[in-house]
């Protein structure tokens, strides 16, 4: 360990002298590290320096420190790890296949702060006492969230949600056991037919992955505009315009919230709009867009399809006192067509629990739902409901009744 620290110090000094950029000059830095490690080993043969136990391990550790994110880099490189979080420097956790575990990694407060600064540098975002929270995307697409005192008790708290691409389409979800083949076939037809789809679930349930897979089923001739807090979607589309929010500057100006993005997206000639997640008043603008005939999709935090619809009926009320439930409830009933509920099970697997249709009717403040697929005995099976807009299925070349017929 002592030898690695000495090598790291020498490498950092050479980086300063040669004015190399760790974020850009990767090839030069790798060659530099190998040279310094070799030189150290040669000097250690003559005594006075602690010999390296393993040259490859030392080279990797130094590269992680100067090019990557130090002790966290092995977790970022591990494809089985989905999330990394730091509660305090001596308590670093990871989630592997949906199950949390405490790692042996022990950091210092200064190391945590340095790592956060390194992570925020590519995005240009900041964190300080005046802005104690930050959301940003790492270069590989992972999502970073940081909170600092005095919002937290004593230490910087860091969450890195990795974007682990395990499913690129609905067929991949079938292979992983998240979805059944009949349900995947039906959802693919819903997307192609231009139905509006709401993906609901809890934290880490797989909502963004489901949204990506649904997006992959969008016809290639459509223009898609997406709006997100930070870039997470990775859609295999030819004509796709992606936008993300912007935090305020040091002077408190220049913020671009999600609601502004939704409004701007409507001016960009979209054939379809996708919103990463609705949390606040932007839900009103999305509902108005969907109600005007523009197909769309979004995700929402909710533990059931019914709760998701209720939440869509209440979030628009945050837009102002002039927005009433008498307007919102029937708008939700007519704008949302399909709700897909996905959940993270106790064994760490993600599974679709229910798919419901919204026929377009509401009684008072209650929106009518029809069960298309429900979970019984641990299996996703056919419910007794039918989807709305069967004419849209026909125009897209599908028979909605046939798609749902004889599904076990």
> Which residue intervals of the chain bear CATH 3.40.50.300?
170-404
Weakest mean pLDDT among 51-55, 68-72, 220-224 = 51-55
- Cα 151 to chain centroid, rounded: 24
pLDDT of res. 247: 79
pLDDT in tens, 272-289: 999 999 999 999 999 999
By the 10 Å C-beta count (0-12 exposed, 13-18 middle, 19+ buried), 19 is classed as: exposed
The residues that bridge with 351 in the sheet, in sequence order, are 343
pLDDT of res. 123: 76
Residue 219 has pLDDT above 80, yes or no: yes
pLDDT in tens, 192-205: 999 999 999 998 89
Among residues 84, 140, 82, 139, the alpha carbon closest in space to that of 350 is found at 82
Would you tell me which CATH number, out of the four given (1.10.1740.10, 3.60.21.10, 3.60.15.10, 3.40.50.300), belongs to the domain 170-404?
3.40.50.300
**Torsion sign over Cα 109, 111, 117, 122:** negative
pLDDT in tens, 334-370: 999 999 999 998 888 899 999 999 999 999 889 999 9
Pairing of strands 91-96, 133-137: unpaired
pLDDT of res. 285: 94
Average pLDDT, integer, range 167-183: 94
Pairing of strands 197-201, 379-382: unpaired
pLDDT of res. 250: 67
Among residues 359, 386, 392, the alpha carbon closest in space to that of 373 is found at 386
pLDDT in tens, 229-260: 888 899 999 999 999 998 777 677 888 999 99
d(CA 109, CA 67): 20
pLDDT of res. 315: 96
Residue 407 has pLDDT above 70, yes or no: no
- When the pLDDT of each residue in the chain is averaged and rounded to a whole number, the result is 91
Q: Is CATH 3.40.50.10800 the classification given to domain 70-164?
A: no
Structural tokens at position 174: 């079938």
Report the chain's terminal Cα–Cα distance, integer Å: 60
pLDDT band at 212 (very low <50, low <70, confident <90, very high): very high
Residue 406 has pLDDT above 70, yes or no: no
pLDDT of res. 1: 63
Residue 408 has pLDDT above 60, yes or no: no
pLDDT band at 184 (very low <50, low <70, confident <90, very high): very high
pLDDT band at 2 (very low <50, low <70, confident <90, very high): low
pLDDT of res. 362: 93
% residues pLDDT > 90 (the chain): 62
pLDDT of res. 38: 87
Q: Is the peptide bond before 150 cis (omega within 30 degrees of 0)?
A: yes
pLDDT in tens, 100-147: 999 999 999 999 998 999 898 877 778 888 789 888 888 887 889 999
Weakest mean pLDDT among 7-16, 216-225, 260-269, 388-397 = 7-16
pLDDT of res. 299: 97
Which residues contact residue 333 at a Cβ distance below 8 angstroms, ignoring those fewer than 6 apart? 358, 359, 360, 361, 362, 367, 368
pLDDT of res. 3: 77
> Which residue intervals of the chain bear CATH 3.30.450.90?
70-164
pLDDT in tens, 289-318: 999 889 999 999 999 999 999 999 999 999
């Amino acid at each position: 360990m002592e030898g690695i620290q000495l090598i790291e110090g020498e490498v950092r000094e050479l980086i300063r002298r040669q004015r190399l950029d760790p974020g850009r000059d990767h090839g030069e830095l790798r060659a530099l590290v190998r040279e310094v490690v070799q030189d150290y080993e040669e000097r250690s043969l003559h005594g006075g320096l602690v010999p390296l136990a393993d040259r490859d391990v030392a080279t990797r550790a130094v590269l992680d420190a100067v090019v990557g994110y130090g002790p966290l880099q092995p977790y970022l490189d591990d494809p089985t790890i989905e999330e990394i979080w730091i509660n305090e420097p001596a308590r670093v956790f990871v989630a592997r296949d949906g199950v949390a575990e405490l790692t042996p990694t022990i950091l210092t407060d200064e190391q945590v702060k340095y790592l956060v600064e390194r992570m925020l540098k590519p995005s240009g975002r900041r964190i300080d006492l005046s802005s104690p929270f930050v959301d940003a995307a790492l270069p590989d697409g992972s999502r970073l969230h940081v909170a600092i005192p005095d919002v937290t008790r004593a230490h910087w708290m860091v969450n890195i949600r990795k974007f682990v691409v395990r499913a690129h389409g609905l067929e991949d979800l079938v292979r992983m056991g998240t979805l059944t083949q009949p349900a995947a076939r039906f959802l693919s037809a819903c997307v192609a037919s231009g139905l509006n789809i709401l993906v609901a679930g809890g934290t880490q349930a797989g909502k963004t992955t489901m949204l990506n897979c649904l997006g992959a089923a969008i016809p290639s001739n459509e223009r898609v505009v997406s709006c997100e807090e930070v870039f997470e979607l990775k859609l295999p589309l030819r004509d796709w315009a992606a936008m993300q929010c912007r935090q305020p500057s040091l002077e408190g100006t220049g913020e671009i919230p999600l609601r502004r993005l939704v409004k701007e997206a409507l001016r960009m000639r979209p054939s379809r709009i996708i919103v990463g997640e609705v949390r606040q008043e932007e839900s009103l603008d999305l509902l108005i867009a969907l109600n005007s005939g523009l197909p769309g999709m979004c995700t929402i935090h909710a533990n059931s399809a019914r709760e998701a619809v209720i939440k869509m009926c209440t979030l628009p009320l945050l837009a102002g006192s002039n927005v009433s439930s008498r307007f919102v409830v029937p708008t939700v009933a007519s704008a949302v067509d399909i709700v897909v509920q996905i959940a993270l099970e106790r064994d760490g697997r993600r599974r679709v629990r229910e798919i419901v249709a919204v026929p377009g009717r509401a009684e008072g403040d209650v929106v009518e739902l029809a069960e298309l697929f429900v979970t019984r005995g641990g299996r996703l099976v056919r419910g007794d409901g039918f989807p709305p807009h069967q004419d849209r299925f026909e125009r897209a070349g599908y028979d909605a009744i046939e798609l749902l017929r004889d599904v076990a």
